[in-house]
Structures are given as structure tokens and as C-alpha cells.
Amino acid sequence: MLTDQISFADRFDGITGSAIREIFKMIAKPDMISFAGGNPSPSALPDLAASRIAQEVLQENGKQILQYGATEGYPPFLQSLKTYAEDKVGCPLPAILPVTGSTQAMDLLCKALINPGDVILVEDPSFLGNLQCMRLYQAKLVPVPSDENGLLLDALEDAMKQYHPKMLYVIPNFQNPTGKTLPADRRGPIAKLAAQYGVVVAEDDPYRDLRYTGRHLPSIKSFDTEGWVVYLGSFSKVISPGMRVGYMAGDPLIIRKCTLGKQSSDLHTANLTQAIVDRFLREKLLDTHIPAICADYARQLQAMLDELSLFPEGTKYTRPEGGLFIWVELPEGIDTKDLLPKAVERHVAYVPGTHFYAMGGHENTLRLNFSNSSLEQIHVGMEVLRDVFRNAW
Amino acid sequence: MLTDQISFADRFDGITGSAIREIFKMIAKPDMISFAGGNPSPSALPDLAASRIAQEVLQENGKQILQYGATEGYPPFLQSLKTYAEDKVGCPLPAILPVTGSTQAMDLLCKALINPGDVILVEDPSFLGNLQCMRLYQAKLVPVPSDENGLLLDALEDAMKQYHPKMLYVIPNFQNPTGKTLPADRRGPIAKLAAQYGVVVAEDDPYRDLRYTGRHLPSIKSFDTEGWVVYLGSFSKVISPGMRVGYMAGDPLIIRKCTLGKQSSDLHTANLTQAIVDRFLREKLLDTHIPAICADYARQLQAMLDELSLFPEGTKYTRPEGGLFIWVELPEGIDTKDLLPKAVERHVAYVPGTHFYAMGGHENTLRLNFSNSSLEQIHVGMEVLRDVFRNAW
């Protein structure tokens, strides 16, 4: 029997699958109010524009789009992407690689850099999908302490001295899961520390354009003079996650190694999805699309914050300036993982915060997403959560 | 300086990138006659049907297609794919996973199974893209001898006994690069040996539908009673390689592990490209498309064989019943790698055979592709090659 005999690779030891992906299956019911995912609102998904554009690009350039492409990217998209990304990141980007969602960027960066046992510094908490990616490369994850605004520079330097890490993974804007934004005056120093200690920084920035208040801050990459910062970008939150188009930009030596890795990961990202995003950029559709999304999401965020203000005393939560998530801390002793089934029973879902911590713990925390629920759903769902949590107070 | 300080992961030691991908760059000129790639003919790429279908699926189901999808696949495609693949493979397929081109299937299988130093048995020669994938997982590649029809069973059993391999990689139909087809009576025994020695068989079968003479043979998977054979399928040769849609099917335990691995490789394959292939299957477009492609390719194959018959005595070559490639063996002492620049100078390209051998050598061999050249180009290009090689005789 295969089941008795087969042995899988060591990299899967202790890997059970993304907690979020498993929660998704549990809550796949039509009448569920889900604060669990990181999904864009259906109204933010430009299906009619995509339909028109898909037809046009295939009619105009179908033979090239359907043929094998270069691992380095679909040529017209490489052009429009460079202009777009340099404007966004705020500095020249000597090398840029389109990838199959920024999930793949993280995978390629680990493939290029990580030997088993290598240390990666991570925010605590951090995005669990990428924590799983790092674990599959058998990296040792070392969490770096934060304050209410994000990574602490002293703690970061201490960790670099002590652990000689290969990489630092950081989400500077509207962090997943906390919604925190790293202050401008910590960004330059992070780039400097990276160069000083020879640490690659993976600056993961999928939410930047979803800013509802305040001003855009300069990227960590824009302070990088030596090439240690790799910027990971995504079109998942501003066009479509289902298309799986993202990019990574940084030092040509690192991007070249990632390109070699991509040859045997998926050869190249689908030309069609690259061509569709290319057309979105060339037609400047994001100039009107992003403000429209932001106006909706800002209202949803405010509605959820209003509901949280009604939670019992002792409830702490972040007040993000953008992004998709609010982070909630309940009094110690309340276990949000234990309470999840009770909430799901009443058709409301969230993600217990413990999953986002590299070392677990923090059972009294949870992540709430507001982008994928209507104002009415936010009102009803938050009332349910208030009730579920109050009973455990 | 980053360039002095950065150290990449050990898995890249000795990896220089796919020889084919590098040759592609060298020959990217408009007037090149390329026998080098494995590209479908432009006339075989259904751009107008794809254009219509892309518009339709996004109009009808755009919100779901643009949203995050399940790692397990786009639900309508999972249905149509199962029916299609079971008919093709000739047996029930209890688990099937859509992937981002069958390149990703190989990557996920290695991710699931291979620890550094594990042995993978390979045909000699074999598809160099997948050899590179195995090397990036730091597998030890052990070539198994073939005769003019493919793998030798005695040699295979000896290798299983001696090396305790984790995997056997085999392309049974119109093999890449040789064009050979494994006889029906060796297929059942391979499945049996795999179960006996506990070896996973990766049966890579992208060319099956491109058969120009003879009858379809049963898959190795169809003889598999224990679950050790994983079937890798592709739509690259019958619809479009640029869409990056393939699949892997096999034992649920293995497919589940590959699905976990895919969560952090690219989360899921683009819903749009899955939806387009789904519609091709549901509209039964392949029923007319494949015979049309095959009629053209059969003529191109015959034209190239006719040209080869004019080559000097001592030229050996395969006479494939399908697929995309002819394998040529020149007299010993002629080095096709040395001669490639001379051919390219005269605007004709091929791939030197040595790249396909896990251990190198065999410098007197080359791979010719006929699908991506017109009859006229085949005539002109083969005359050039005859001349280039004759001068080295």
C-alpha cells in the first residue's frame, strides 16, 4: 500500500496547510458574513473592463499571447510595469520580474536565498501565507518586536547582530494582519541596517494604494542604495486576485536568480493575464478605479471601527489608515480560536490571531477584514461577535 | 557591495539556466528558421476562439473569475477536466489538481517528495527543463538505459534495486527529445515495478494527442493499482502554452501534499485561463481542433524526414509516430554544440543533444522541432544544416 510506504520530503514536517484556506472551506456557505479573508469586494472587481480587454488583446495580439512567452515577462507589460512601479516605489528599478501573484515572489526569493536553517526575521504577527512559504524552505523564523507603529529599530539591529539572518520580511503599509503602517522615519534606517548587516529585505507592499486617510509614505526600497531591498508588488487588491499577477523588483543579481528559479516553477506567468494588466495600466484605468474602491472601503472601515467602539471595555484595536484589516486584542484569557465555531454557528467568521504569530500564542487576538462585507453585514456581523465575545468576558 | 556579500542558496550551485531558454535569446531574430523550441505552430493557436471565450466567461462569471480562487482549482473546470482526463488516461482519477502549466506539476511533485540527495531515475536523454527542476531540488539524477523504443525493463529494475529511488520520470509518448514511444507491453510492468519497489512514477504526457500514425497506447497510469503513478497533463500543445494550464492526477495523498505546496507557490492557477480551457472542453472544440493540428504537423514531420533521408550516410534519426521532435545522431566526433553558431549565422537553429543527457556527453546528437516551421522553411533550413554538418564529416 502506498499509504504505508510513501515518505514525503522533510520540508513538509509540521506543515498542515494555511489556516485561512482551511477556515475558508469551513465557511463556504452562501449566508456567511465573512470577516476572515482578504478578498476584495465583488463591486471592486472590474469584470466588464476585463471582459472587453481580454477580447481586444487576444484579437489584436492573440498569436503572441497564446504562444510560449519569456520567463522574464510579456514584453509590452514589462514596459508599462516599469513606468508604473518606478512611480509607485519612488526610485529607479533596474530589474523587475512579473510573477504569478506576489505569493510567487516570496517563493522565488526563498528559493534563491534560503538554505535549511537560515534565519528570516519576521514581524510579529505577520502574514501567515508567507510564513508557511518560509517554513517550507525550512527557514528558522525569528520574530522581531514591534510597538503600536511597527518594527522597533533597536530590536531589529539586535536581531541582525545576534542571528545573522538571510532575510527580513516586512509589510510596511497597512500591515497584514495588524493594519499598522511603519512610520517614515523608520524606513530609511531599515534600508541602512540591511546594507550594514548584509540582509535582504523583502518589502511586501500589496496594500499601498488602498489608503483612506493620510499621505503616502516613501518605500523602504526608495532609501536603498546598495540593492539589498527587494520590492514585492501585487495587482490583487487593485485589479483582481484571481488573475494572479504581481511583480518583484530589485537588484539585477537577485532578480536574475529568481528568474532562473521561475524557469522551473511555472516557466512564465500567463501572457493573457499580463496583457490584461498591461492594458489596465496603459488605459490608466487605475486612476479612476482606485479612488472608487477607496471611497467604499473607507466607509466599510469606519463602520467596523464604529461597531468596535461598542465592544466591552478592555477591547483594544488598531485604527488603520488603509488596507483591508483591523487587528483586535481582547482581554487575556479569551481564546478566539475556541470561540470561532460559536461565531461560525451564527454565520460570522474571522481569523484567530494566533495563526499569524511565528511562535503561536496570543490567543486573545483576531483579525477582521472589512472589504468584503456590506455596511449592513458589518453591522449584523459585529453585533454577533460582540455577543459571542461578551459571553466569554 | 551586495555583489561581494550576497550568497545564494546551495540549490543553485551549478545551475546556469535552461539551455533552451538561452538559445531562444540568441536566435530571437525575425528571419530565423528555428528547429530549436517546442512551440506550437502559430496556425495551431486558436486566438479567435480564445478571444470570444475570454469575453464570454468574464461577462458571465467575471466576479468569481476575478476573485481569489481555491488552490484545488476553478470548480467548473474541475468537473470538465475530470471527464476529459479520465477518458484520455483511461482510468478513474480519484484526485486531480489544475496547475500553472505541467512545469509546475513537476515542481510540486519534487517539492512534495524530494530531499537533497534523493535519487530520481530519468530516461537518457530526457526533457532538460524538468532535469533542471530536479537539480534545483538537489536530487541525484540516475539515467536508465533505453533501446530504440524507450526504457529497458531489466535496466529499470536493476536501477530500482541498486539506488532505492524516490521517483522515476518518464515521457511515454513521442518522448522529448527523442520522439520515441514506449511500447504497450512495457507500460504495465513499469507500474508493477513502481509498486513493488515503492517508487513514484511521474508520467509526463503532453504530446499524447499529437499522434499522426498508429493507435493510442494505454497510459502507464491505467495499469496502476496501488497509486504510485502520477499523471502529468498539459494543454500547452493542444490549446496554448502561453495560458499555462496543465494538471496532475493521482493518489489523493500525493495530490493533497502537492496542493499544500501549491498554496505557497502561487496560491492558485489564474481562474481566467482555467475558465477558458474549461469552455474549450465543454464546447468540444478539441474534437475538431486536434485533427486539424495533426494534419499539418504530420506533413511537417514527413517533410523533415524526407530532408533527413538526403543527409550523408552515417546519419541516424528517429521516425516518430507523433509529437514535435525528431532526434538525430551524427557520426561520433561531430560536435553539434560547436556547430550551432555556424548554423545560427546562417539563420537556422536547433538544440544540441548533449543538454538532454543528465550526465552530458553525446555531443554528436541534436533535437529538431518541426511543428513551428513551414514546409518551405523546413526545406531551406534542413539544406543549411546538411551543408553545415557535411563540412564537419
CA nearest B324: which of B4, B126, B98, B39?
B39
Please state, rounded to an integer, the average pLDDT across all residues of chain A. 96
Q: Which residue among B10, B113, B264 places its CB closest to the CB of A129? A: B264
Indicate which of A4, A7, A8, A279 best probes the interface with B, i.e. most B CBs within 10 Å of its own CB.
A8
Angle at B306 between CA B300 and CA B311, to 5 degrees: 125
Answer for the pair A175, A203: CB distance below 8 angstroms, yes or no. Answer: no
- Percentage of residues of chain A with pLDDT beyond 70: 100
pLDDT one-digit tens code per residue, A331-352: 999 999 999 999 999 999 999 9
Residue of B nearest to A68 (CA): B242
Residue A67's pLDDT is what?
96
Name the residue of chain B whose CA is nearest to A8's CA. B113
pLDDT digits (tens, 9 = 90+) for B4-42: 899 999 999 988 777 777 777 777 777 899 999 899 999
Name the residue among B3, B69, B115 with its Cβ closest to that of A242.
B69
| A265/B265 Cβ within 8 A | yes
List the single residue in A with minimal CA-CA distance to B10. Answer: A115
Type of residue at A54: A
Q: How close does chain A come to B236, measured CA to CA in Å?
A: 9
B117-123 mean pLDDT? 98
The confidence band for A16, taking pLDDT boundaries of 50, 70 and 90, is: confident
pLDDT at residue A196, as a whole number:
97
Q: Is the CB of B66 less than 8 angstroms away from the CB of A241?
A: yes
Q: Are strands A246-250 and A95-99 parallel, antiparallel or unpaired?
A: antiparallel
Distance from B175 to chain A by nearest Cα, in Å? 19
CB-CB under 8 Å, A243 with B10: no
Provide mean pLDDT across the span A15-41: 82
Q: What is the pLDDT of residue B368?
A: 98
Q: What is the mean predicted confidence (pLDDT) over B373-393?
A: 95
Rounded mean pLDDT, A227-236: 98
Using a CB-CB distance cutoff of 8 angstroms, which residues of chain A are in contact with residue B45?
62-63, 66-67
Least Cα distance to A72 among B18, B170, B79 occurs for: B18
CA torsion, ordered B218, B224, B227, B232, to nearest 10 deg: -20
pTM of the model: 0.97
Provide, rounded to the nearest whole percent, the portion of chain B with pLDDT above 70.
100
Collapsed DSSP state (helix, strand, coil) of residue B71: coil
Among A28-32, B116-120, B268-272, which is the least confidently predicted range?
A28-32
Mutate to test the interface with A, among B266, B268, B371 (most CBs of A within 10 A): B266
Nearest to B85 by CA among B195, B185, B208, B169: B208
A2 vs B226, B243, B260: nearest CB: B226
Instruction: Give the nearest partner residue to B2 out of A227, A243, A260, using CB atoms.
Output: A227
Of A228, A239, A224, A341, the C-alpha closest to A281 is A239
How many CB pairs below 8 Å do chains A and B form together? Answer: 263
Query: Which residue in the set B8, B38, B100 is minimally distant from A100, CB to CB?
Result: B100
Closest to B21 (Cβ–Cβ): which among A55, A67, A263? A263
A98 has pLDDT over 90: yes
pLDDT class of A20 with cuts at 50, 70, 90: confident
pLDDT level of residue B234 (50, 70, 90 thresholds): very high
CA dihedral A182, A187, A191, A192 (to 10 degrees): -130
To the nearest whole Å, the CA of B71 is away from the closest chain A CA by: 9
- Counting residues of chain A whose pLDDT is more than 90, the rounded percentage is 93
Residue A24, pLDDT > 80, answer no
pLDDT above 90: residue B147: yes
Residues of B within 8 A of A68 (CB-CB) are: 37-39, 236, 241-242
The per-residue pLDDT for range A290-309, each reduced to its tens digit, is 999 999 999 999 999 999 99
Q: Do A50 and B66 touch (CB under 8 A)?
A: yes
Say if the Cβ atoms of A264 and B69 lie within 8 Å: no
Report CB contact under 8 Å: B8, A257: yes
Q: What is the mean pLDDT of residues A235-259?
A: 98
Nearest to B195 by CA among B236, B159, B223, B231: B223
CA of A225: how far to CAs of A105, A195, A219, A310, A341, in Å?
21, 8, 13, 47, 49
Whether residue B68 and residue A37 make contact (CB cut-off 8 A), yes or no, is yes
A125-175 residue pLDDT tens: 999 999 999 999 999 999 999 999 999 999 999 999 999 999 999 999 999
Strand partners, B140: B119
Q: Is A214 helix (H, G, I), strand (E, B) or coil?
A: coil
Of B48, B67, B239, which is closest to A241 when you measure between CB atoms?
Answer: B67
With CB atoms and an 8 Å threshold, state whether B12 touches A257. Answer: yes
Computed over every residue of chain B, the mean pLDDT equals 96
Is residue B138 over pLDDT 90? yes
A244–B265: do the CB atoms touch at under 8 Å?
A: no
**Between chains, do A242 and B271 touch, taking CB under 8 Å as contact?**
yes
In this structure, what DSSP letter does residue A211 have? B
Mean pLDDT of B100-129: 97
Helix (H, G, I), strand (E, B) or coil at B41: coil
Query: Which domains are seen in chain B, by residue range?
Result: 2-46+287-390 (3.90.1150.10), 61-282 (3.40.640.10)
Is the confidence at residue A26, as pLDDT, over 90?
no
Q: What is the pLDDT of residues A164-214, one digit of tens each?
A: 999 999 999 999 999 999 999 999 999 999 999 999 999 999 999 999 999
What are the pLDDT digits (tens) for B164-200? 999 999 999 999 999 999 999 999 999 999 999 999 9
Cβ distance of B272 and A242 shorter than 8 Å: yes
- The shares of helix, strand and coil residues in chain A, as percent rounded to the nearest 5, are 45, 15, 40
**Quick one: cell of A367?**
483579525
Q: What's the half-sphere exposure (Cβ side, CA atoms, 13 Å) at A268?
A: 25
Contacts of A227 in chain B (CB under 8 A): 2
The answer, yes or no, to whether residue A27 has pLDDT greater than 90, is no
What's the gap in Å between the CA of A115 and the closest CA on chain B? 5
- Tell me the nearest-neighbour CA distance from A19 into chain B, angstroms: 11
> In the structure grid, which three cell numbers stand for residue B280, read together?
474549450
The predicted model gives B57-65 an average pLDDT of: 98
Cell numbers found for residue A191: 534600508
- B54 vs A10, A54, A268: nearest CB: A54
Q: Measured between alpha carbons, how far is B25 from B62 in angstroms, rounded to an integer?
A: 36
Residue B2 pLDDT more than 90?
Answer: no
Contact B67 A42 (CB under 8 A): yes
pLDDT band at B3 (very low <50, low <70, confident <90, very high): confident
Q: Distance between CA B148 and CA B329 in Å, rounded?
A: 12
Least CB–CB distance from A39: residue in B12, B68, B242: B68
Tell me what pLDDT residue B22 has: 72
Separation of alpha carbons A182 and A147, rounded Å: 10
Distance between CA atoms of residues B66 and A40, nearest Å:
10
Q: Which residues pair with B98 in a beta bridge?
A: B247
Does B242 sit within 8 Å of A112, measured CB to CB? no
Of A32 and B23, the one with more pLDDT:
A32
CB spacing of A59 vs B51 below 8 angstroms: yes
Chain B: residue whose CA lies nearest to A372: B67
B67·A272 Cβ contact <8 A = no
Q: Do you find a cis peptide bond into A94, omega within 30 degrees of 0? A: no
A66/B240 CB distance under 8 A? yes
- Which residues lie below 8 Å from residue B218, measured CB to CB, with a gap of 6+? B90, B184, B187
